[in-house]
Amino acid sequence: MPKITIGRSDADMEDFGAELGTGLLGKHLVGEGSEAHAANPIRMDIARPHVIGVFGKRGTGKSYSLGVIAEELVTADESVSQNIATMIVDPMGIYWSMKFPNEDDAVLLDQWDMKPDAMDIDLFIPEGQAETFRERDIPFDKTFTLRPSDLSSADWAMAFDMQLNEPRGILLERVLRDLREDYDNFAVDDMIEYARTQGDFDEDVRKSLVNRLMAANDWGIFSAEGTALDDLYTRGGLSILDVSSFGNIRGSWSVKSLVVGLLAKKILQERMASKRLEEIAEMEGTQTSESPIVWMIIDEAHQFIPNDHKTPASDPLLSWVKIGREPGVSLVLATQQPYKLNADALSQCDIILSHRLTDKSDIDALKEIMATYMRYDITTYIDNLPRVKGAAIGLDDNSERVYSLRVRPRLSWHAGGTPAAIKEGRE
């Protein structure tokens, strides 16, 4: 049976083979529509950095597929998984369920020679939400905070929906500049107190900025010290960064983007420093890995790196897209609406997994980046997919081929299903 491994170069295929450093994505679909049947396995390279796009309209398996990719990263051969750290940015609060085995699909998993399995995850929530989670008996493992001093004035301005050249923006820049001159770290309360004392600004300007800073304090994500980067991910581990609790505040996506943007920036800086030390060690004939290769998996990615405006996460994530291969960071961007995803990010995806799409704008967006490799129009590929969950087309930019496939069943529980008013087990 021919082996299909997407995302792997010919050189790596010769050195490592088709399985070491790969994950099982699913099985090749042969035939069209209802006549299609699953044939040989399709594996995906996880040994090298990638930019991966996962697309599909609601209910076709997009979030499910993200869980499959994460499972493969943490259950890979230890010689590979221990050099990888995986982080899922969860804006919808659905990946906590990976702590539990997928017993509901035990029979289906058995058909794939697999068994239900719980993932050993670290579930992070904002520190300011911990009490609410405890009161409602919602499980979590750890909390996280960010340092206000790590954010630029542009980050704050985007989060507050203000311009830096307006009086409030000018005051904001002064607050940050002066506090950084006097302190290594500072809290939002320090920013508030300092803004109040700037008498050469109108009182209305000071009050307006102070009100926004007080609202930022209520987000529950800031502290003077912040959470150490090393605490947010571990070798061979899976961290879930649950930012769904911001959904009930004004400008919630800006807050989520602040979190993602700062983490992406710091992780990339860490990997760039580590890569230099690793290269020095290699030249000296020694082996060392200063920090693991980081895979960041982002659901609803068009909200963090949109095509029509910038968020605090846009520039950091674009840096991952453009230069991430060299320092060793991978990005998985999932969205129901690929046409809303930043065009540069979309064009740089070297692996694409697309479930069913029906909106013309989304299909056209994929046409632009996939047309070179397709024998037929993309609509034909999508229409020929069987109407089963998990059916998708996969683009491998490395081999310049398009495959129809069915994503494998999840080992761990998937909490992203659609609720039903009619419950099972009724008489």
Q: Delineate the domains of the chain, giving CATH numbers in brackets.
A: 4-141+237-407 (3.40.50.300), 148-218 (no CATH)
Report the C-alpha gap between 343 and 308 in whole angstroms.
Answer: 9
Mean pLDDT computed over 37-61:
92
**What 3-state class would DSSP assign to 140?**
coil
What is the band of 425 on the pLDDT scale with cuts at 50, 70, 90? very low
pLDDT at 285 over 70: no
What b/e sequence results for 296-312 when a residue is b if at least 16 CB atoms lie within 10 Å of its CB, and e otherwise?
A: bbbbbbbbbbbbeeebb
How far apart are alpha carbons 26 and 395 in whole angstroms? 14
CA 25 – CA 28 distance, rounded (Å): 10
Annotate 304-345 with three-state secondary structure.
CCECCCCCCCHHHHHHHHHHCCCCCEEEEEEECCHHHECHHH
pTM: 0.93
Could you tell me which of 211, 311, 208 has the C-alpha nearest to residue 255? Answer: 311
Q: Residues 202-211: pLDDT tens digits?
A: 999 999 999 9
**Average pLDDT of the chain, as a whole number:** 90
More confident residue, 280 or 125: 125
Question: Which range is most confident: 248-252, 280-284, 297-301, 325-329?
Answer: 297-301
Return the pLDDT at 427.
40
Amino acid at 43: R
Instruction: Tell me the pLDDT tens digit for each residue of 298-337.
Output: 999 999 999 999 999 999 999 999 998 889 899 999 999 9
pLDDT digits (tens, 9 = 90+) for 145-181: 999 999 999 999 999 989 999 999 999 999 999 999 9
Q: State which H helix or E strand residue 56 sits in.
A: none
Tokens read off for 299: 């659901």
How many CA atoms does the CB half-sphere of 399 hold within 13 Å? Answer: 18
Which residue is listed with tokens 């590979």?
Answer: 80
Residue 187, CA distances (Å) to 48, 206, 222, 387 in order: 39, 18, 7, 53
pLDDT digits (tens, 9 = 90+) for 27-41: 998 877 667 787 899
CA nearest 26: which of 86, 84, 111?
A: 111
Contact yes or no for 374/402 (Cβ under 8 A): yes
Q: Which of 15-29, 200-214, 256-270, 287-301 has the lowest mean pLDDT?
A: 287-301
How do residues 103-156 score in pLDDT, each as one tens digit?
999 999 999 999 999 999 999 999 999 999 999 998 999 999 999 999 999 999
pLDDT of residue 33: 66
Please list the alpha-helical segments (H only) found in 219-325. Answer: 229-232, 252-283, 314-323
> Taking residues 44-60, what's their average pLDDT?
94
What CA–CA distances, in Å, run from 289 to 82, 214, 232, 293?
A: 10, 42, 18, 9
Residue length, the chain?
A: 427
pLDDT at 251: 75
